[in-house]
Amino acid sequence: MRVDAMVLRRHGGPEVLERETIDLPDPGPREVRVRVRAVAMNHMDLWVRRGLPNLKLEYPHRLGCDIVGEVESLGAGARGAKPGDRVMLQPALSCGVCAACLGGTDNLCRGYHILGESTQGGYATHVVVPDVNLIPMPAALAFEAAAALPLCTLTAWQMVVKKARVAPGQVVLVHAAGSGVSSIAIQIAKLFGAEVIATVGSDDKKDKARALGADHVVNYRDEDFVARCKEITGRRGVDAVLDHVGGEVFEKSVLATAWGGRIVTCGATAGFSPKIDLRQIFFRQIEVLGSTMGSKADLLAALPHLASGAIRPVVDRVVPLWSAREAHEALEARRAFGKIVLAVD
């Protein structure tokens, strides 16, 4: 089948993205072809486009892991769907048979691949995926809104619920409130009864963070977020920090954390090598926890809250897939609060 797609054939800036007509294989056993209606962008799209160490791509490569659309056709033995079903896609592949997959921690599978990263993604009119990747799309959501949810929801759910173990009455610091993961993490932390301190990089994002449920918002460019956290908590510090910034922000987050608190990191957009005084970790018994993505079960656990509206998608703008270059430029320049979604006509 011939389909239109935005692809890259080399690494570089947004200019490497090109519209092409490509061959898409028919769905094989237990696979499904989905007519893509929208695909949301992530920073991973930028990193893959620029090039990552040890990342080997099959060209032409399609970015995009946050995919929603309609089931178009089924391969032999495909289960759990029928043509016309509106679906969102669990944004990663795993082997399905190892101990991690069978134990419900498929994001620890040694054969784990994120759509659009080390395998083909959704920057196209159609995509073929295993049937186990289909998640029913909440009926109340439009395609563009639903596309903003899968990756950031399962990532934030694992961080807040499983790693940080957020509970009522705790105080949680969420960095970079305007990012996709953090915009959902704020909502999940509030869902579990926490008081939330959010950081932003500009004053125009403060009201947006409060609208998501943040109780306190700190512009980290103008204020010392460590001092504000100590002030808000009566010098005790926060119970949990949710961070994907890294660098100096991570270093300071250690100082903002209470004795016995937890720091959960899922990224390092500002630097991979923070300087840490280990005495602050072991003497104050702070837990530092790594987190990548989440399990299929995490997305299913969050699904009722997505359907009820308790967790809302945060969409900054919707642009056509064929304008992906401009969308990449906007995301790189941090000109977004929430997700940039690419609509696929």
pLDDT of 154-179, one tens digit each? 999 999 999 999 999 999 999 999 99
Return the SS3 of 51.
coil
Percent of the chain with pLDDT over 90: 95
Q: What is the pLDDT of residue 59?
A: 96
Please report the beta strands in the chain, taking only residues with DSSP state E, as ranges in sequence order: 2-7, 18-23, 31-40, 66-74, 86-89, 92-93, 113-114, 126-130, 134-136, 171-174, 195-200, 216-219, 238-243, 257-265, 287-290, 315-320, 339-343
User: What pLDDT, in 10s, does the model give residues 17-43?
Assistant: 999 999 999 999 999 999 999 999 999
Q: What is the pLDDT of residue 125?
A: 98
Torsion, CA 295, CA 299, CA 302, CA 306, rounded to 10: 160
- Mean local confidence (pLDDT), 255-283: 94
User: What pLDDT, in 10s, does the model give residues 308-320?
Assistant: 999 999 999 999 9
Q: What is the pLDDT of residue 189?
A: 98
User: What pLDDT, in 10s, does the model give residues 87-145?
Assistant: 999 999 999 999 999 999 999 999 999 999 999 999 999 999 999 999 999 999 999 99
Altogether, the residues listed in the chain come to a count of: 345
* CA angle (137 as vertex; 135, 138 as ends), nearest 5: 130
| pLDDT above 90: residue 219 | yes
Domains of the chain: 2-149+313-343 (3.90.180.10), 153-290 (3.90.180.10)
- For residue 302, what is the enclosing H or E element? helix 296-308
Q: What is the pLDDT of residue 271?
A: 87
pLDDT band at 54 (very low <50, low <70, confident <90, very high): confident
| pLDDT above 90: residue 296 | yes
pLDDT band at 256 (very low <50, low <70, confident <90, very high): very high
| pLDDT above 90: residue 218 | yes
- Mean local confidence (pLDDT), 41-64: 94
| pLDDT above 90: residue 269 | no
pLDDT band at 270 (very low <50, low <70, confident <90, very high): confident
Give the pairing of strands 257-265 and 287-290.
parallel
What phi and psi values does residue 165 have, to the nearest 5 degrees?
A: 50, 50
Averaged pLDDT score across all residues of the chain: 96
pTM of the model: 0.94
